Structure 1
Amino acid sequence: MLLKHFFFLFSVINYLNAFIPARIIDFLIEKADGSLKDQFGEVSHSYTHEEIIRQGVIRSTVKYFSEQKDLAYLKLNLSQIEKYFNLRALYKLIYNRTFCKTDLDEIIFKDLQPSVASVDFDSDTKDMPYAHFDANTFRESNLRVMNMTKKVLESIRSRKFERAREISGKVLHTIQDFYSHSNWIEMGNHDKINKAIGTVAFDKFKFASKSDNITCVANCTIKEIKCNKMISTMISLLKNLRKTNINCPIKYFKCKGNIVTNDRLVTGYYVDQKLPDGTSASKPADSLMCSHGGLLDSDSFRPVQGGINKDTGYYLFSPHAHLHQTAAKLAIKHTEYFFDQIRAEIGDDDFSKFVRIIMQDLIELIQKNLVFY
């Protein structure tokens, strides 16, 4: 049974190039052997795209409530916004109802979270660098954000709110990946989001390109995990799924200070990525460019070895795992900023419809036979 769990885990991760579902990892590791957390190089809790989008949209919603004149008496404390993450408690405070149904919870679960996760599974985007700010495709990735944000606004103005939420999740995946895939944080931006993303101003930044002969050095420590029978079998099964260099013992990288071009933006290359026209976007063989890195990025074992992604709090999957928390917090801030900007464009009335900031009294719904228990 444990082998099936692990095979499922690595089958899922096989498709991922982003914030990895850490709860699944934690569950399976604890089922097998809690000590594996240390072997896998855990340094912190890992955030997923789903967690990030939930926190971001709720933060923006709390800000919306705090700026409504008729709710000013509540004095919502934006400096302690995390205490409002329980939406039922928040709506109870605002609407003075003990039993209420929050539509925002529903649209997060049914619309935003599936959409933000879909980018890693959709055949059109899972291996396309523009969807992930990979392979130094900064201008192309930014153009994707610009075009998709425009579609969000067009959909809202056409009263196609569900479609707008679907597109929002997909574009936010790309924005969130900027913080875990690029060297924005390593450039010293630990508390600052890049508000130029999604605008023409983004093109004013300096970007690494194929003309750069070197963006990373092999300033990484190689870690090893000894293989028992279960892990050996898992590796054999995994090799049938994807071309990979995984062998026993399992090797992975712990990297610090391996980016040498912090005067410009850099992202890593991930194995087997392709441009929309089918052209390979693999790491150039004749230059020392940064890899995305992680267990399934076989290119990270080619010069220059290592990687720079901050997708998880595990070094097994993220060579810069020590910066994962920072990347996740910036991604949450930018998600909040995205919804704030949408609200500024469309106004409060349409924003309330877009994220369905409405409350329904459960007792009234039951009386109207709209809710059944």
Structure 2
Amino acid sequence: MTSVPGLALLTLVLSGSTMAFVPNGGGTSTHVSITATALLDKVTETCRAVVEAAGHEFNPTGPSPDELVQACLGPMATGEVSGAKFHSALQEIYVQHGLVDHDFANSAPHHFNSEAFLEGRGLITEGMATIKANIRGENFKAARETLGRILHTLQDFYSHSNWVELGHTDPYINLIRPDLLLENLPDVDTATCSDCPSGTCPNPILPNVLKDKMLTSGYMGVFSAAKPKGKCSHGGAGDLTSTVVPRGGISKDERRPDNVAVHNAAVKAATAASLQLLQDIRLAAGDKEFLRMMGIARSSVVCFVIDTTGSMSDDIDAAREVAYEIINKNRGSQNEPSEYILVPFNDPDFGPMIRTTDADKMKREIAKLRASGGGDSPEMCLSGLQIALTGSPDNTYIYVFTDALAKDIHLKGTIMALIMKTQSTVSVYMTGHGGRRRRSIRAASFEDYKQLALASGGQAIQVSKNQLPQATDVILDTATSALVTVLQRARSPGKQETFPFLLDESLKNITIYITGTSITFTLTNPAGVTQSHNQASGSLATIQTVGNLRRIRLNADNQIGTWQINIVSSQPYTLKVSGQSTTTFIYDFVERFGGPHPGYAVISGRPLAGQAATLMLTVMSRKGPSLMTIEDVALVTVSGPETHSNGTTTDMGNGNILVTVDLVPEGEFVVLLKGTDKESKSDFQRQSTTQISVSKVNIQAGVAGSVEPGEAFELPFSVMTQGSGGVYEIEATNDRSFPMNFPKSVTLTTGVYTNATLTITPPASTPSGTDVTLTLEAKSASGADSNYVVLRLSVVTKITDFFQPKCEVLSVLADDCPKTQSECGPFQWDLMASLTDGNGTGIESISLSQGAGKLTTTSLTEPVVHVNYTASCCSQIVELIAVDKVGNVGKCYHSIVRSAGPPALTLSLPLCLFLLLFAFITRG
């Protein structure tokens, strides 16, 4: 049964712009709607279990993502809690449906077409093992991407096969259980369908196939009409085989008058199967890790990238102090970071990354940092930053501390691509003037740090070492919940300019940052009250100046309305206005594609130049999107002469908007959104932080599965340009330094894709669950145009253990339990059981899924693990969950609920007299 939050949140799904079952709604279920139903129900169920296990009441105040997250986080979530991370996690799963249809349209296993049952099941079970390994390694983004792909394949089974025509109503558990056989599969010579000239016959499957419970699926021909004799087709305009006898098709992707019953049955079975798969992953991961994968988190992730060379002693002390202050100030509040990340770098070393949700552990790790070595050379700053960008969740705030320029400046293009892909914000704190001698091929400068920071929406702050502690207040500002950007602009060279910005009722803790030198400014509120730069504490704000940074914190009063800041400087400067609010948005650039299941696919790199840009944009707020009106979405340049390219919006309902911009600005731009909160009648504006530009180059590549340690993995990719043809350079990097082979250049003809292959080989010692981020870039010989694709590969040891742990109940002592529940209080019952993993990898964990008693076990390293469970007679059901070391889940269930006997026969007095009289007469 779908919960109320699940039903309400489901309305946030883009019903009209995502992929099959079919791309458009019209009353037909889509992959996204099925996935949303399952995900939101499972998240709600898990949240309820976690909150109630902690002794609190789970009671969302409403249906919005923010309210569900707030209820899920329990009493800690007392302030502004944003549902943006949860929404982003859902979208990362949803968009995989489009990528499967886009990248693997002709792959039978990905869609269970052409009777590819064993291969399709292999994709699902391999994907489940990958997800579990990724969760154990805290690689949640990789887990979400794989989850979206295998849910698509799993759901396609029910639409593309004859499972529901065979009369099945429950999911086919064998698809997620590789230890169970797939039965009744026909061979290639067995005919399965009768001819259907109209293409819309109610049930063209042959009677003997139905009688023998034979499992078949439709053949799909994207490029060829060939299929084995007598076989069913998928059907539809995109299937060339559907015109070959037997004509028609058995796909239930779309609800039609001739297939309403089987379409509805397929939707129901696909939803139940998705819930079944999610429950298996949840049990293997545990409730808290499952929710982390789903983006249910208190606040932002804070990441420190710290130079540890000999001259950095003071800087390390300052970074340590600000980390301690963040931890101590926010511990136990909704502003406590959900995760802490630390990446040290030196020369020539960088890393390793340290990730933890334990604040005290992060304190201990930062306390270990010592400045040593390095000499007078620049350091491996960008290598450390690359690890941070690939290992941190998207939208992380990353702070780099260094007193040197980057030695590894050749990674700048990779860093730019990763910033655009992850939408993380990078701020650089540089002490001194970068005076250490450069020995890189291309001389680096502080300008490189400024460009990286500006591209991400961060700041490049240059201060002396003794000023650094005062400059770190910016980190305290951003280590908070529900941070949004109202405005960001940059000018180089500087000039006098007035920047208006709109503040709304929902914004709190509003701060303005200006970086640059020789700057004066005047701040004006909506009432016309002004404050100049030389008034450190005025009627409008408190101004702090440290190095090249001005931090302007607005006072609490008189915030609503249009403000202005007039800046005067001949030197380059940046401006940023931010605050806390649950009113925000997320977006993706997408492209329309055709084929059997047309729809929209997310663009990994830069949008293509010379054509309209399309965005899928989702707006959210604390009370849900129904209380907001979106009035304008535009692409706006951040630097140089400011240009606005307004978009044409199509309201998809419930905060989802399809935006088309015919003329994309030249240069770097951001997304600017304006609207009105209907409840407060307050106008608002929000801006994305990451800068984007278009390119005439396009790279296409997709990940089909996981990678095995020690095995070469081939990744085909294609490159095309709409610009001038010729030789284009290919650059590829990965964040694990795994060896790769790829062509260093390709020769392109305008408008034609050129195919190539990259080979990457993880060392045999790579731990299972490791993910590697691969950045592939193509750029013109002049370097004037380039584009990239960022892919995540999961390294997973080949699974040979497919068997669930087994449970045997040895004894149950429940004789003392009274027959009535009202008297159960003082009495207890006991259960003893043994758990084994056969010839598998061994049991890793045993936990209670149901039951309120005490659980004790012998050592998990033993071949047979003995379990003792003791509970009050009031708690009459127990379910144990045993997970082995590769994530197979076994269950042990027992109930002492006494079944009621047959009801006593009660007769009315007249009926009794009648029966006595009848007996007397018949005997007489």
For 2:185, the equivalent position in structure 1 comes to: 207
Q: CA deviation at 1:256?
A: 2.3
- For structure 1, the residue ranges without an aligned partner over 5 or more in a row are 1-11, 27-44, 78-82, 223-251, 274-279
Distance 1:47 1:324 in 2: 9
Q: CA deviation at 1:153?
A: 1.5
Q: Which amino acid aligns with 2:24?
A: A
- The answer to whether the Cα contact below 8 Å between 1:46 and 1:325 also exists between their aligned partners in 2 is no
| Structure of larger gyration radius | 2
Q: CA deviation at 1:257?
A: 5.1
Question: Are 2:257 and 1:289 equivalent residues in the alignment?
Answer: no
For 1:67, the equivalent position in structure 2 comes to: 49
* Pairs within 5 Å for 1:303-318: 303-314=245-256
User: Number of aligned pairs?
Assistant: 288
For 2:93, the equivalent position in structure 1 comes to: 112
For 2:163, the equivalent position in structure 1 comes to: 184
- Secondary structure of the residue that 2:102 maps to in structure 1? coil
Distance 1:105 1:128 in 2: 30
Larger helix proportion of the pair:
1
For 1:90, the equivalent position in structure 2 comes to: 68
Distance 2:175 2:106 in 1: 21
- The answer to whether the Cα contact below 8 Å between 1:129 and 1:281 also exists between their aligned partners in 2 is no
- Secondary structure of the residue that 1:367 maps to in structure 2? strand
For 1:49, the equivalent position in structure 2 comes to: 31
Distance 2:219 2:64 in 1: 38
For 1:265, the equivalent position in structure 2 comes to: 215
Call closer, same or farther: CA 1:333–1:196 in 2, change over 3 Å: same
- The answer to whether the Cα contact below 8 Å between 2:220 and 2:239 also exists between their aligned partners in 1 is yes
Q: CA deviation at 1:46?
A: 0.8
Call closer, same or farther: CA 1:49–1:98 in 2, change over 3 Å: farther
Q: Using the TM superposition, name which of 335-344 and 358-367 deviates more.
A: 358-367
Q: CA deviation at 1:87?
A: 3.2
Distance 1:258 1:85 in 2: 43
Cα displacement string for residues 199-256 of structure 1 (whole angstroms, at most 9, x for unaligned residues): 22442421122031x11113x472xxxxxxxxxxxxxxxxxxxxxxxxxxxxx42432
Cα displacement string for residues 90-112 of structure 1 (whole angstroms, at most 9, x for unaligned residues): 34555476964222222112x10
- The answer to whether the Cα contact below 8 Å between 2:111 and 2:157 also exists between their aligned partners in 1 is yes
Distance 1:75 1:259 in 2: 51
- The answer to whether the Cα contact below 8 Å between 1:21 and 1:48 also exists between their aligned partners in 2 is yes
Q: Which amino acid aligns with 1:208?
A: P
Cα displacement string for residues 27-65 of structure 1 (whole angstroms, at most 9, x for unaligned residues): xxxxxxxxxxxxxxxxxx211112221111111111212
Question: Are 2:172 and 1:194 equivalent residues in the alignment?
Answer: yes
Call closer, same or farther: CA 1:347–1:256 in 2, change over 3 Å: same
Q: CA deviation at 1:307?
A: 1.1
- The answer to whether the Cα contact below 8 Å between 2:82 and 2:481 also exists between their aligned partners in 1 is no
RMSD after superposition: 3.1
- The answer to whether the Cα contact below 8 Å between 2:162 and 2:217 also exists between their aligned partners in 1 is yes
- For structure 2, the residue ranges without an aligned partner over 5 or more in a row are 1-16, 300-333, 336-479, 483-507, 511-577, 582-685, 687-924
Question: Are 2:24 and 1:22 equivalent residues in the alignment?
Answer: yes
- The answer to whether the Cα contact below 8 Å between 2:194 and 2:205 also exists between their aligned partners in 1 is yes
Distance 1:128 1:84 in 2: 42
Tell me which of 148, 155, 167 is aligned to 2:146.
167
For 2:279, the equivalent position in structure 1 comes to: 340
Question: Are 2:176 and 1:255 equivalent residues in the alignment?
Answer: no
Distance 1:344 1:50 in 2: 23
- The answer to whether the Cα contact below 8 Å between 1:20 and 1:311 also exists between their aligned partners in 2 is yes
Asked which structure has the greater RCO (Cα within 8 Å, sep 6+), the reply is 1
Q: CA deviation at 1:259?
A: 4.0
TM-score with structure 1 length normalisation?
A: 0.68
For 1:242, the equivalent position in structure 2 comes to: none
Question: Are 2:309 and 1:367 equivalent residues in the alignment?
Answer: no
Distance 2:105 2:34 in 1: 19
Q: CA deviation at 1:88?
A: 3.8
For 2:194, the equivalent position in structure 1 comes to: 217
- The answer to whether the Cα contact below 8 Å between 2:192 and 2:232 also exists between their aligned partners in 1 is yes
Q: Which amino acid aligns with 1:138?
A: F
TM-score with structure 2 length normalisation?
A: 0.29
- Secondary structure of the residue that 1:336 maps to in structure 2? helix
Question: Are 2:84 and 1:145 equivalent residues in the alignment?
Answer: no
